Amino acid sequence: MADDPQRNFRSIYYEKVGFRGVEEKKSLEILLKDVPLDVEKLCTFSQRFPLPSMYRILVWKVILGILPPHSESHCLVMSFREEQYQDVLHALQVMRFVQDTTPQVEVFLQMYQLESGKLPRRTGTNQLEPEDEEYLAIAKAMEEIVEGAIDCYWLIKCFVNQFNTKYGDSVPHLPKSLEHYLNLEDSRLLNHLKSCNAMSKLPYNLWFKKCFSGCLPESSLQRVWDKVISGSCKILVFVAMEILLTYKIMLMGLNKAESIAQFLEKMPQENTDAIVSKAIDLWHKHCGTPMHSV
């Protein structure tokens, strides 16, 4: 049978935007019709394939537990989520912690602090803790991805809670994993970074604790977060490694750890989609298709 030109065109298009086949979108649509939704299968799909943007937020909500597996309950559950959001916001307004002029991400932070019992006694005079800065970075990125304050707050809150609970013990070990895999892929680059004493100065906080918030544009970042949300923080290692490999020539020309760190903290934004695609390929190469791996 002769090849169908229209089908070939579609296949090429989907590969360019991250799909290896048209059937993957159909597979996800079938999964989303399950009653109840199978969270494990949704995680597996997100680990193997990119999520279409039209379904991404729904899948994130289900995996993070914001929405239950039973889709017929989604509207009711979201109404409860909205009530809780409004109650917490109102409490902060009554206590005069937030005003109409308070930036939205700062409102999200103080709501999170109130719900977790960490709200400072005074506002405006307290220095942000490192975890607060990490929360704000993730919140700013999520605000660019998600429409609507209520959805945005719940996704930030549950993403941060999941990350801290599930991966908190693993994050300190990610720099060592980066060194291990970089040695396998490009030992010459690793040796150069070591000779400059740069390995200890790489922007690990930006990469691993902030999950590349403020480093990658949101169009690329959400593809990384698909993998983190569905069960693996190790993808962060391979994104970091691919950044190093992509800018190898530049890095090999720098001999000071501070200069290397400064470049990586303000890396160019043009090639980030390609960087993420190559990072995902490296992740699968070294780890197979890990499920819930750390």
Query: Topology of domain 21-167, per CATH?
Result: Helicase, Ruva Protein; domain 3 (1.10.8)
Question: How does the average pLDDT of the chain come out, rounded?
Answer: 90
How much is the pLDDT for 17?
A: 43
Q: Output DSSP code: residue 33.
A: T
213: helix, strand or coil: strand
Query: E strand or H helix at 275, and its extent?
Result: helix 272-287
pLDDT, tens digit, 9 for 90 and up, residues 3-26: 444 434 444 444 444 445 467 888
How far is 156 from 289, CA to CA, in rounded Å?
A: 26
Residue 255 near residue 194 (C-beta atoms within 8 A): no
Confidence of residue 160 (pLDDT cuts 50, 70, 90): very high
| Rounded (10°) CA dihedral 129, 132, 138, 139 | -150
Query: Which tokens in the block code for residue 154?
Result: 């719940």
Radius of gyration of the chain measured on its C-alpha atoms:
21
Angle between helices 104-115 and 74-94 (to 10 degrees): 100
How far is 156 from 162, CA to CA, in rounded Å?
A: 10
How much is the pLDDT for 290?
A: 54
Stretch 255-277: mean pLDDT, rounded?
A: 95
Least confident of 26-35, 130-139, 176-185, 206-215: 26-35
Confidence of residue 126 (pLDDT cuts 50, 70, 90): low
Hey, which residues does 213 pair with through a beta bridge?
Answer: 216
Q: Is the pLDDT of residue 227 over 70?
A: yes
pLDDT, tens digit, 9 for 90 and up, residues 193-218: 999 999 999 999 999 999 999 999 99
145: helix, strand or coil: helix
How much is the pLDDT for 22?
A: 60
Stretch 271-293: mean pLDDT, rounded?
A: 84
Query: Which tokens in the block code for residue 98?
Result: 């937030």
How much is the pLDDT for 38?
A: 95
Residue span(s) of the chain under CATH 1.10.472.80 come to 171-287
The residues near 93 (Cβ < 8 Å, ≥ 6 apart) are 99
How much is the pLDDT for 220?
A: 96
Nearest to 65 by CA among 82, 45, 84, 81: 81
How much is the pLDDT for 26?
A: 87
| CATH number, span 171-287 | 1.10.472.80
CA 292 to chain centre: 15
Q: Is the pLDDT of residue 121 over 80?
A: no
Residue span(s) of the chain under CATH 1.10.8.680 come to 21-167
Nearest to 107 by CA among 97, 116, 117: 97
Query: Which tokens in the block code for residue 173?
Result: 């070990």
Confidence of residue 128 (pLDDT cuts 50, 70, 90): confident
pTM: 0.89
The residues near 80 (Cβ < 8 Å, ≥ 6 apart) are none
Confidence of residue 125 (pLDDT cuts 50, 70, 90): low
Q: Is the pLDDT of residue 286 over 70?
A: yes
pLDDT, tens digit, 9 for 90 and up, residues 33-90: 999 999 999 999 999 998 999 999 999 999 999 999 999 999 999 999 999 999 999 9
